[in-house]
Structure 1
């Protein structure tokens, strides 16, 4: 009996020992739950914009698959698209960063304009009665007059009758008749001083002298002594130069940045040493359909009458956002057809591309309306290589080459031209075929396009060709070119080439559209034409050579943008003008 009891006791002891040792040898249920939570998906994000979150798989706004973010990956440095760069590579790339900060943005806008008469200071001289001009003190347009000067004398039977009625009413002593007769004389513009003369001398005047209502100069003189005039005849106009208007053409992209009352700086080529200040007096409600520019009227004081009608002027607007806005250096932006990105510096050599929404642009800074917060560090130099690595890590479909070239003809507006790099910065409308929104981006120019043909402010039709996901301008419709700058194409003869200053003295022919006759003047070669290796289409420039050229008015300079040799030599403009001068 005892030999069976001992094995049973031993078995029970072993089971008891195993029970108490079991918790120490195997993980508990809470530990298993913690391990599982590390692989739990918290949410799904867009590869290029971690702020775009969803609670399930799907597509990003760019059409890419959303990627999961796990519980152990909630740190920003572990999000999709994050790359690590060693300190040595950072130094070799010359990586520099800047913080996103709130700052007021000031933008300088340049435009050209023309001095004009202030229409509210222009007085039209019309008679109120029929009659004959006996004497005329004005002999020609442009003659200066002073307020109170006699302009002309008029014989009018109607004025004679009105004077007789007034004297008859005075003789009768009826105050009501006197008042009615005096009112009639005033309505016929009979001067008050002559009414007093009637009272004292009681003698009808056959000739009535009419005075200048303001100081200025006469324009549009339409009468001569002896002319018969009647109500409705425009005899002349008197313009004042105390104040003048300046009409400037502003590119449409800056329309929202200009307000009435803004002060602007004005310079006139006739007086390069003078800097004038004007204010925006009126903004016209409609754009110019041909140049796509907004017409703005500026009011300038001109007490010394130095500013003359039809003078060209350069206008510079300085616009500000007023309140500080979140912005980053413009060099931090990567602008493509599909989106605009920055490269975030996350610290410890980690970087990630992030999609942003851009507002107002200045030459130095870009307003960020979405995608960044104040204090975020962005890369300003060396960002393209980092962005490329980040894009590969995020498996972006934008690097997938297209099977074939794809072209679209669009109307674009040129913002800037980089002749050395052969690129332009231009605005384009939405491209439905490519699923592109309207935006501003950089385009490379095909070898067949001479960058000297293009300038800021131009609007033209261009062929955009997309290859391997990138777009460039491969052709332009030259007949569609419209420019906000004053430009003209004319023939002329080269008199002198000043190579050191890139200035050419040319005797040019007449410019019919501006009503300008032949002239000899200095022109400045554009940057592209002044390049030591000019475009193949540009002929050699030598004195005595006949050329056909296109120039623009840029501020105080007449800049030649395109030169070609005409099929046949043009006449010698300088000799022609010398001949005219002697005759």
Structure 2
């Protein structure tokens, strides 16, 4: 009996020791956990902000009049933090939802297309006029219609001139006298020979055909008529000769134009003239052939400006195979202009222009965006030169700029760029401009309002009447015709002004 009692006591002691050890381990667990790193703390929500960037906050979750959830602002994302660091902070998830896209600021040659209207004109160097240098009559026409194509050397018309016949006879008599005085003295022969040469020179000065003169010298027989031939191959663009008509010296009878090459004279606006230079490539489209793009180059920029249209003519030379281009046709011209050297440039969508300053958002990584004031220069197709504010290789935001503006308190960060930045307010405010005025008209379907407002000092605008869009349909209830209101607005896109707040 005593042995059983001792065995039971030993088992009890063993169980008690095991239980004490187990409870001791449980009691020791908090001390071990306190020594290990603490788990990630859940971020604290400071308040909820309007999703459209309106100056409206809520301490609890809510929806705006359009049914959109208010955006939570966490600790560390408020305006004070942004202003202190000079950066805009947005969570990575929100950056992805906003569709933020960035591109590198890089060196590039800015291309700029200058568009102008023009007309097809004949090459002035290939226009030839046939006008006899003596008086006479049109005896016969070989080409009797305007627009007829002619080949080089093709007969155009024949003329009869009493003056020409008399000059030929004088030469023939002088030649006969020279032959008759072959046995006379040298002085007499020289005089007669000089008379014949003078008569022949007179005929040459009248631009008689070489074959006509050769026949006269050979045979010594004057011809009654003289045939005029086309000096070039081309088109008869003007014909004034009529069979039997009398003409005077220098009177134009035919005009023949070689249209194998033509000019396109484009009227370039005065403000675009500085970027157009000789040698620039030009694409020409003719209304008659919309599927054909003709390539040429600027060969001359005229030195005069047309005061009526404030344009300067620019000449482009084009080949004209097949004669498709007709003088007088209208043309659409696109000139490639711009700087020939590479400059630091960013996409034009990266620049937020408030009217008083130009801002670029530089991506610093991990949802951080630094607003920089930049100085811009020349503009090209979809790119703008940056003179100051951004370095080569930095990434700039080219898409969702306005959404970043609405998602964050950009105004607080941008205020640090000024010479005298004011302290950022505790609650976020919309980035925009203020104006007071009278509502002229409201288009609820289009979501627009016409406002006759006073001066806007932040944009240096005078008083004017203009159309605004509204950030949401709920604002239209406060914008009734003839109502006097105070509004705050932002520029969502180029020339697109959006009212974000209305007060009476």
Question: Deviation of residue 101 (structure 1)?
Answer: 0.9
Query: Quick check: 2:433–2:458 contact (8 Å CA) kept in 1?
Result: no
Q: Which of 196, 202, 210 is the equivalent residue of 1:192?
A: 210
1:498 corresponding residue in structure 2: none
Cα 1:85/1:433, change in 2 over 3 Å: closer
Q: Does 1:391 align with 2:398?
A: no
Deviations 1:529-554 (A, max 9, x none): xxxxxxxxxxxxxxxxxxxxxxxxxx
Q: Which of 179, 184, 205 is the equivalent residue of 2:197?
A: 179
Q: 2: CA distance between counterparts of 1:106 and 1:288? A: 27
Q: 1: CA distance between counterparts of 2:105 and 2:93? A: 26
2:164 corresponding residue in structure 1: 159
Structure ID, larger Rg: 2
Question: Deviation of residue 159 (structure 1)?
Answer: 1.3
Cα 1:256/1:155, change in 2 over 3 Å: same
2:137 corresponding residue in structure 1: 132
Question: Deviation of residue 199 (structure 1)?
Answer: 1.1
For residues 30-69 of structure 1, what are the structure 2 equivalents within 5 Å? none
1:146 corresponding residue in structure 2: 151
Question: Deviation of residue 269 (structure 1)?
Answer: 4.2
Query: Quick check: 2:361–2:396 contact (8 Å CA) kept in 1?
Result: yes
Deviations 1:187-239 (A, max 9, x none): 11222211111112211122111111111121222221111111232222111
1:363 corresponding residue in structure 2: 381
Query: Quick check: 1:85–1:349 contact (8 Å CA) kept in 2?
Result: yes
Cα 1:305/1:158, change in 2 over 3 Å: same
Residue segments in structure 2 that go unaligned for 5+ positions in a row: 1-81, 179-189, 422-430, 440-445, 449-454, 470-485, 497-504
Residue segments in structure 1 that go unaligned for 5+ positions in a row: 1-76, 407-419, 423-430, 438-442, 448-465, 475-583
Question: Deviation of residue 100 (structure 1)?
Answer: 0.9
Q: Give secondary structure in 1 for the equivalent of 2:322.
A: coil
Cα 1:248/1:345, change in 2 over 3 Å: same
Compute the TM-score of the two structures, normalised by the length of structure 1.
Answer: 0.54
Compute the TM-score of the two structures, normalised by the length of structure 2.
Answer: 0.62
Q: Does 1:402 align with 2:407?
A: no
Q: Work out the number of aligned pairs and report it.
A: 355
Q: 2: CA distance between counterparts of 1:297 and 1:125? A: 27
Deviations 1:155-210 (A, max 9, x none): 22221222123223323434433333222111112222111111122111221111
For residues 108-507 of structure 1, what are the structure 2 equivalents within 5 Å? 108-173=113-178, 174=190, 175-319=193-337, 321-387=339-405, 389-395=409-415, 399-404=432-437
Q: 1: CA distance between counterparts of 2:438 and 2:357? A: 21
Question: Deviation of residue 470 (structure 1)?
Answer: 6.7
Question: Deviation of residue 154 (structure 1)?
Answer: 1.5
Query: Quick check: 1:81–1:391 contact (8 Å CA) kept in 2?
Result: no
Q: 1: CA distance between counterparts of 2:298 and 2:335? A: 10
Q: Give secondary structure in 1 for the equivalent of 2:387.
A: strand
Question: Deviation of residue 306 (structure 1)?
Answer: 2.4
Query: Quick check: 2:126–2:258 contact (8 Å CA) kept in 1?
Result: yes
Deviations 1:312-350 (A, max 9, x none): 333333346333211112221112322322112233433
Q: 1: CA distance between counterparts of 2:339 and 2:201? A: 57
Q: Give secondary structure in 1 for the equivalent of 2:249.
A: coil
